[in-house]
Each structure stands twice: as C-alpha cells, then as structure tokens.
Amino acid sequence: MGKASCPLASLAIYDTIKNVVPDVRTIGMGLTASGASLILVGGSNTKRFAFPHTRVLIHQPSASRFVGTPREIELEAAEMFKLRDVIADIYSQDTGRPVNEIQNDMERDTYMSATEAQAYGIVDRVIKEKEKKKKK
C-alpha cells in the first residue's frame, strides 16, 4: 500500500464515523498523526478527547512515488492537490477554522500538544488524571 492509500483509508473511516447513527467518541493518545488526526477530529461534537500527553500532527498528504512518465507524475500530483483540499475542508468544517488557515498549517508538519489541539478545535477536551480516578 502506498502513502496515498493511508489518507484514503482514513477518509473511509472518517466517512463511516460521520454516517453511523450513534455518536462516535474518539480519543487521541500517544502520537495521533496524519490520518489518525483526521479520524480524531471526525468524532461526534463534544466527544473528541485526548490524553494529556498526546501529540497531534496535521500535514498535507504526500505522494506514494515520483517515478514514471512525466504525465503519470502530473496526474498523481493533481490527485494529491485534490486530496489536500478535501482534507483541509474536513479540518475546517470540524474545527471551525478557515480553510486557508488549515491549508497554511498543513504546508508543514504542525505538531500540537493535547491542549493546543483543543484550542485548535481538533479535540473538545483533554482528559485529566483526576477525571479518570473519579469514574472508578
């Protein structure tokens, strides 16, 4: 599976989350990067969480290869730009941030702490240690 398959698989999971009847809770842990951050932001509103030490990474999709004829490379690049726009639209819709801001942030690897991801709108709440103990 090439790199282009990963965003497509993540988009398939995102679409499933958005089209099932029950609310879907998403929880970020460890490094929630690339397609995983797309899935994280896709959780139901108010049900997107992150553990305190989670790192969230957003960036633009990358091509699986740059070999072949110039036409093949051109076609793959065009698909990557379309995919980039779709992903930026999703982040914009789910975070409330403007598409141009999302696209700018996706130009490079943008790492966020759990609290930065909350401020950005990717998660709704950071799960605190005391909250976990209270629920036992």
State the CATH number of the domain containing residue 113. Answer: 3.90.226.10
Helix (H) or strand (E) segment spanning residue 50: strand 48-50
| Boundaries of domain holding 51 | 5-11+20-129
Residue 124 maps to a domain? yes
Catalytic residue among 59, 64, 103, 111: 59
pLDDT digits (tens, 9 = 90+) for 22-65: 999 999 999 999 999 999 999 999 999 999 999 999 998 876 66
Q: Answer whether 91's CB lies under 8 Å from 101's CB.
A: no
Residue 66: pLDDT above 80? no
pTM of the model: 0.86
Distance CA 54, CA 123 (A): 11
Count of domains observed in the chain: 1
Q: Is residue 39 a part of any domain in this protein?
A: yes
117 CB-near residues (< 8 Å, 6+ apart): 28, 50, 54, 56, 123
Q: Which two tokens mark 53?
A: 């030490």
Q: Is 53 a catalytic residue?
A: no
